[in-house]
Amino acid sequence: MSDELYSVLALGMRYWFIALGLLIVVQTFLWLYRDHREKHRRLKNLPDAGMIGEFVVLSGSKTLEEGRVIPVPWEGMMGSSGACDVVVPSPEFAPVHLYFSFVKGRGLQIETARGRSCYVDGVLQEYRKGTPDGKMIHGSILQVGDCVLRLRLFAGLDVERKAARKAEDDLKEYGMPVASQGVPRQGYDGWVDPQTEEERFTGIYLVKDEEQDGNEETKKATGGSRKKNKNR
Amino acid sequence: MKKQKKQQAEAEKRIKTGKRPGERLTVMVMLFYGTAFLLLALRNAAWQGYALALGVPAAIWGGTHILGRCFHIDTLLFSLTNFLCALGILILYDTNPGLAYHQVVYYGVGLVGMVFCIYFMRAIRRIRGLGFVMIFLSVAFLTLPLLIGRETYGAKNWIYFHGISIQPSEFVKILLILILAWFMSRRQFLPWFLCAGGCLLCLMLQKDLGTALLYYGVTLLLFFASTANVPLTLLGLAGGGGAAVTGYRMFAHVKKRVAIWRNPWSDYENAGYQIVQSLMALASGSLLGVGLGLGSPTTIPVYETDFIFSVICEQFGLIFGVCVLLIYVAIIWRGTTIAMASRHSYQGLASMGATMMIGLQTFVIIGGVIKLIPLTGVTMPFVSSGGSSLVSSMCLTGLIQGVASLNEDDLEEDLKLTEI
């Protein structure tokens, strides 16, 4: 191709390239906007997305009222500072009191910050090199000073349910009474207190149906179900 | 209600079949490069041009669709990086075809690196003891140019091995981000601080101040992202300012660069020649450009690496230059969104670090080219010629892609929970 012809062609094609460049940018930002909208829609359907459970305040202080629910993400810092992932507005907690991370099948691992301590299910946890992290499972209690928090886990619910079914079948096979056949126990704010190790691990209790007030009918449920939390 | 359900079903179907709402974007990128390479092929009448006119769009389409089926990769991010990589190949094919063929090979290596980084992020979720090995490797790699390197453009940051030149600081970027993310997420101050300090010291000794600026900036930004500690971040910023002043007083070539930045026309035939030529290229390109394959981009010294943005603006115009900048903005936006959606602080910080590295590098080089800040010798991510730069940029994208795929896995698990 001659240089003159190429020059004319290249000059004409400038507009094509600029138009395509602009279209690519517009399409990119439209895509970003659509994804942003889709993410919001998904989060609307999944209000607990990104959370593995919640802490319920059983006993607090002036600034931390009883019954308060604090969502717990997969991992992060817990303390009274606003920069923490789990903010507990209580003077009992240090600005950064402990670090936590959720490990599938093992629960919430707790590691206290240097110079801090807490109780997990009555066992003292404090910062010391070489010591194992504290482990919190569904229903475990965290105590810092006078503040008492109970952990409810959502994550791993399917695993819990499978384990529960297997445990129930095993008990039936040996002709032993299943936990769900016992007397229903209504604890704090509809919360069922797991009293045995079996209940804690299998998650089978008898719960009074909150939606049918006055109705004596009870139903079997797995501990800390998402539906129950949403209703509350 | 019915409409909502229908929309949701359509969205799920789109995800299952791999069709995203931005499918058109891939087609536009393919169209852009198909026509651009064809135009250059008509001028040169060389078969390589026709091969690129067919091969580049085919690679973009294949990469987006094949890789998208292997992992939950972020297709938008992948399309945008592909666009920038292909832009680099296009400009190099126009100005120096030999470099373009090399760049195609480096792009292939970069793709392999990206896939490796995606696997790495997915497979190794906890670095643990590997963190200290990485610290050792980082410092060892950065010491190599001091021992066996050669000085290029005032900095001793390259090593030559059997005819291949490698810039170790480009690969240490990836290690540094992983180290910072891991130790910052574990709240262990000393290891990352010593590692960052050691790396900066090596870079200062190599006189590679541009890369040192990038390392320092990313460390500071990640520190802020992990702790939200404003006073200490400001203190770090002040420390960086102090170090810059000390560098200005210590190094003669820094003084020279600042002087050129303030008034390049005072010595436009010698020290200021490069920046003056760059500014003239920007001016001659004006809004619409002089046309692909026209103009005289090769008059700018080191046009293929540091000044490739000037060549783009000269040939395609300032409007297109702004479009390229907006694409970088979109990459940074996407990377930040992925980092913020991550549920694990290590992965979130790794993704944020990779995004910050790309963003800061783009700002430093384009700021230098348009005379916004003094010029430092760093490359334009994905676009500039050079294997080390392209492969490391692709690996950084791989880290972000890995986190994006993990986020999708987590979201799928959440969806499963609602089905119980």
End-to-end Cα separation, chain A, in angstroms: 76
Quick one: B198 and B337 in the same domain? yes
A51-153 CATH fold? Tumour Suppressor Smad4 (2.60.200)
Q: Which helix (H) or strand (E) holds A112?
A: strand A107-112
Q: How confident is the model at residue B196 (pLDDT cuts 50, 70, 90)?
A: very high
B55 and B113 part of one domain: no
Task: Tell whether the model's pLDDT for residue B62 goes beyond 50.
Answer: yes
Which of B28, B228, B341 has its CB closest to that of A20? Answer: B28
Average pLDDT of the segment spanning A55-76: 84
Q: What pLDDT was estimated at residue B148?
A: 82
How far from B137 is each of A108, A171, B70, B143, B198, CA to CA, in Å?
33, 55, 31, 10, 12
Helix, strand, coil content of chain A in percent (nearest 5): 35, 30, 40
Q: Last residue of some domain: B70, B87, B108?
A: B70
Q: How far is CA B63 from the centre of its chain?
A: 19
Can you tell me the ipTM of this complex? 0.89
| B133 and B145 belong to one structural domain | yes
Q: Residue A190: its pLDDT value, please?
A: 42
Out of B11, B20, B420, whose CB is closest to A157?
Answer: B420
Q: Mean pLDDT, to the nearest integer, of B172-193?
A: 89
**pLDDT for res A102:** 83
Sort out which chain B residues have CB atoms less than 8 A from A27's CB and list them. Answer: 22, 24-25, 28
- Considering only the beta carbons, identify the residue of B25, B319, B333 that sits closest to A24: B25
Return d(Cα A217, Cα B335) in angstroms, integer. 51
Q: Assess whether pLDDT exceeds 90 at residue A228.
A: no
In angstroms, the CA B175 to CA B183 distance is 12
Least confident of A185-194, A222-231, B74-83: A222-231
Average pLDDT of every residue of chain B: 86
Tokens of A42: 């998904």
B76 vs B13, higher pLDDT? B76
A24–B28 C-beta distance less than 8 A: yes
Angle, in degrees to the nearest 10, between helices B47-70 and B75-95: 160
Neighbours of B29 (CB within 10 A): 24
A185–chain B nearest CA distance, Å = 24
Q: In this structure, is residue B279 part of a structural domain?
A: yes
Same structural domain for residues B383 and B334?
yes
| Long-range contact pairs involving A155-159 (C-beta distance under 8 Å, separation at least 24) | A155/A52, A155/A53, A155/A74, A155/A102, A155/A104, A155/B417, A156/A104, A156/A105, A157/A222, A157/A225, A157/A226, A157/B417, A157/B420, A158/B416, A158/B417, A158/B420, A159/A104, A159/A105
Q: What is the DSSP letter of B299?
A: G
- Cβ(B90)–Cβ(B33) below 8 Å: yes
The 10s digit of each residue's pLDDT in A120-142 is 888 888 877 666 677 888 888 89
Residue B289 at interface with chain A, using a CB cutoff of 8 Å: yes
Counting residues of chain B whose pLDDT is more than 70, the rounded percentage is 93
Q: How is chain A split into domains, by residue range?
A: 1-45, 51-153, 157-231
pLDDT at B395 over 90: yes
One domain, residues B88 and B234: yes
Could you tell me the strand order of the sheet in which A98-103 lies? A86-87, A75-79, A98-103, A107-112, A134-136
Strands A204-208 and A107-112: unpaired
Q: Is residue B233 part of a domain?
A: yes
Interface probe for B, chosen from A28, A40, A165 (most Cβ of B below 10 Å), is A28
Share of chain A above pLDDT 70, in %: 63
Helix or strand (DSSP H, E) at B207: none
| pLDDT reported for residue B36 | 92
Name the band, by pLDDT with cuts 50, 70 and 90, for residue A192.
very low
For chain B, the first-to-last Cα distance in angstroms comes to 22
Do the domain assignments include residue B7? Answer: no
Higher pLDDT, A80 or B71: A80
Interface contact B345, partner A, CB < 8 A: yes
In chain A, which residues have their Cβ closer than 8 Å to the Cβ of B289? 14, 17-18
pLDDT digits (tens, 9 = 90+) for B314-372: 999 999 999 999 999 999 999 999 998 888 888 999 999 999 999 999 999 999 999 89
Beta carbons within 8 Å of B257's beta carbon, 6+ residues apart: B374, B375, B376
pLDDT class of B384 with cuts at 50, 70, 90: very high
Judging contacts by C-beta atoms under 8 Å, the chain A residues touching residue B294 are 7, 10-11
Retrieve residue A182's tokens: 């016992």
Q: Is the pLDDT of residue B117 over 50?
A: yes
Q: What is the pLDDT of residue A230?
A: 38
pLDDT > 90 fraction of chain A, expressed in percent and rounded: 11
pLDDT number for residue B126: 67
**What is the reported pTM?**
0.80
Q: How far apart are CA B225 and CA B347, in angstroms?
A: 13
Structure tokens belonging to residue A108: 């919430």
B55 and B110 assigned to the same domain: no
Instruction: Specify the pLDDT at position B351.
Output: 95
pLDDT-derived band at A117, boundaries 50, 70, 90: confident
- B383 vs B227 pLDDT, higher one: B383
Interface check B76 vs A, CB under 8 A: yes
Q: How confident is the model at residue A220 (pLDDT cuts 50, 70, 90)?
A: very low
pLDDT at B9: 61
Most confident of A24-33, A169-178, B164-173, B266-275: A24-33
- Of B49, B70, B91, which residue sits at a domain end? B70
Chain A: residue whose CA lies nearest to B337: A36
Residue A142 one-letter amino acid: L
B326 interaction partners in chain A (CB closer than 8 Å): 25, 28-29
Q: What is the amino acid identity at position B128?
A: R
Give the range among A48-62, A74-88, A156-170, B301-315 with minimum mean pLDDT: A156-170
Inter-residue contact A13 to B316 (CB < 8 Å)? no
What is A184-232 written as a DSSP string? ----GGG-----SHHHHHH-EEEEE-SSSTT---EEEEETT-HHHHHH-
CA distance B366 to B307: 8
Find the domain containing B230 and state its range.
Answer: 71-419
Domains of chain B: total: 2
Instruction: Decide if B6 is inside a domain.
Output: no
pLDDT digits (tens, 9 = 90+) for A196-218: 555 554 444 444 444 444 444 44
Shared-domain flag, residues B54 and B148: no
Residues B129 and B43 reside in one and the same domain: no
Do B144 and B42 lie in a common domain? no
Judging contacts by C-beta atoms under 8 Å, the chain A residues touching residue B319 are: 18, 21-22
**Average pLDDT over every residue of B168-196:** 89
pLDDT value, residue B366:
93
Question: H or E stretch including B76?
Answer: helix B75-95
Given B51, B70, B89, the domain boundary residue is B70
Six token digits for residue A25: 């940018």
Residue B179 lies inside a defined structural domain of this protein: yes
pLDDT at B127: 67
CA distance B21 to chain A (A): 7
